[in-house]
Amino acid sequence: MPTAARGATLILLGALLAQAPLLTAAAYQPRDPEQSGPPVTAAPPTAPTPTSNPTATPTATPTTTPSQPLPEQPAARSWSDVVKQVTETSPGDLQLRSVDTSAPASSIMRCFKLDDENYCLGLGFVDQIPTGAQLEATLSPPDRHADGEVGDEQDIPTGDLTPAAFVAERASMPKTTRVNVELDEMQAAWDGRDKARALRLLADQAAGQEPAVQPGSEATPQATPGGPTPTVTPTTPPTATPTRTTPTQATPTPVPTPVQPPAAPVKPPASSYIMKGFQTSQEKGYWCGPATFQSIDWADDNQKDTQASWAKDLGATTSGTAISAMVEQTNLKTNWDKPAGTYIVQSVSSWNAQTFFTVHQTHLGVYKAPVIEHVQLLKRYFPYLAFNHSGHYQVGRGYDRAKGTIGIYEVFNERRFNSRGNVTDGPRNIPASALFNATLANSFKNIGL
């Protein structure tokens, strides 16, 4: 009898297993490992009726309209908030491989609110969160020709990382690596949010707007455009030092206390120039970043490290160098952040030429610290050139208020890379309005200071 019962049981199990594939196919769908939440249960298939026709309208999915601002995260009030938001919103590897060509821009250049300031990865501190259409436009190459401009072109990418290359580079990283790189960028942003707030209030004043003061915060003294620079009172840092936690770290590592700049005096001097004798010339066509940083670091510690060593530290490739890397290394490897405060990536898209000039006077004349200029290297802004070139870094090192000029170290020498080019490297004085417009001509529209 036990043998007969066992045989009947096996026959019954065999009948059930024969039906199992049908049940499994109807009730289970694999989950994307990058997504969270319960698996989606598929509805049982239904046979079409003879009168039903296929519809050409696809099922609607919630998307962000290109003209609408990107979704905004809640304001981060601590470093742990920043770590949580960056980690949770960083796209997964499968997500980046499956999206269309326009989606990675909003996935990679994500925006966050740090207290009261907006910061977008790659773009820096911005007044307003950009729309999807604005981010897509950022990926388009800038127009290098002025109206009616004629002449020979020489397509030498002098070394800044374009927005399209920035997005592609970040998207190609494994998620864990990308999150760590994003947190490195956000560290400087978090530490420099007080500087960004002061710059925003200055820009509002220059534009004739009433500065927005958040409830419970103290008003910052304002400056008249071209006149005295406001005295910035830094926000007192919290007593408890926040800790940074990343997906690959089991033990949190302490975050250094942000370096705050001293209060600026009432008025910068009429002219000021720093870093005399520390000009450099880039050794490769795509090394404007390493050459600019070589000059900045050399003037800081009087030790001239090689451009090859800085190219490695900056992560420079044949596609160029990211401005976030330039800012990060300035904070890590130099002491310029002691007089000027934590260096940040700052968008100038909402500034005017007077604000741009006033900020340079404060940074160069009061803090005596260089500015990382991020321009489009075009003849109409830099007449010493024989050709138009790509996005580019220069050293902002001085100004003359009476002449309305900003002094730079040009690190690119056309003659070195083309016998028909001009000798262009060395100290140059550029009208402040021209340098401002050259910055706006670059798709990033930002500087490092």
Who wins on pLDDT, 404 or 61?
Answer: 404
- Looking at residue 424, its amino acid is T
Instruction: Give CA–CA dist 15/31, Å, rounded.
Output: 29
Tell me how many degrees the CA angle 113-119-123 measures, rounded to the nearest 5.
160
Q: What is the pLDDT of residues 9-19, one digit of tens each?
A: 444 444 433 44
Q: Which two tokens stand for residue 248?
A: 């690959």
pLDDT computed for residue 134 by the predictor: 85
Instruction: Give CA–CA dist 19/200, Å, rounded.
Output: 67
Q: What is the pLDDT of residues 244-302, one digit of tens each?
A: 444 444 444 455 556 665 555 558 999 999 999 999 999 999 999 999 999 999 999 99
Distant-in-sequence, close-in-space partners of 179: CB < 8 Å, separation ≥ 6: 86, 87, 90, 246, 247
pLDDT computed for residue 138 by the predictor: 84
Mean pLDDT for the stretch of residues 72-81: 90
pLDDT at 381 over 90: yes
Q: How many CB atoms lie within 10 A of CB 159?
A: 30
Instruction: State the pLDDT confidence band at 59, using cuts at 50, 70 and 90.
Output: very low
pLDDT computed for residue 20 by the predictor: 40
> What's the chain's length in residues?
449
Q: What is the pLDDT of residues 103-141, one digit of tens each?
A: 578 889 999 999 999 999 999 999 999 888 888 888 877
Q: Which two tokens stand for residue 7?
A: 């045989």
pLDDT computed for residue 69 by the predictor: 56
* Per-residue exposure over 228-237, b if at least 16 CB sit within 10 Å of its own CB, e if not: ebbebebeee
pLDDT computed for residue 24 by the predictor: 36
Q: Which two tokens stand for residue 358?
A: 């006033």
Helices (H), 315-421: 323-333, 337-340, 353-361, 414-417
439: helix, strand or coil: helix
The bridge status of strand 117-120 relative to strand 111-114 is antiparallel
Q: What is the pLDDT of residues 150-199, one digit of tens each?
A: 555 556 778 889 999 999 999 989 999 999 999 999 999 999 999 999 99
**216 torsion bin: left (phi>0), alpha (psi -120 to 50), beta (else):** left
Mean pLDDT of the chain: 77
Instruction: Give CA–CA dist 311/307, Å, rounded.
Output: 6
Mean pLDDT for the stretch of residues 96-109: 70
Who wins on pLDDT, 256 or 64?
Answer: 256
Q: What is the pLDDT of residues 299-331, one digit of tens each?
A: 999 999 999 999 999 999 999 999 999 999 999
**Which of 165-169, 227-231, 254-258, 443-447 is predicted least confidently?**
227-231
pLDDT computed for residue 93 by the predictor: 76
For residue 442, give the nearest of 205, 198, 130, 158 by alpha carbon.
Answer: 158
Question: Among residues of the chain, what percentage have pLDDT more than 70?
Answer: 65
- Looking at residue 336, its amino acid is W
Question: Among residues of the chain, what percentage have pLDDT more than 90?
Answer: 56
Q: How many CB atoms lie within 10 A of CB 406?
A: 27
For residue 232, give the nearest of 201, 206, 263 by alpha carbon.
Answer: 263
pLDDT at 410 over 50: yes
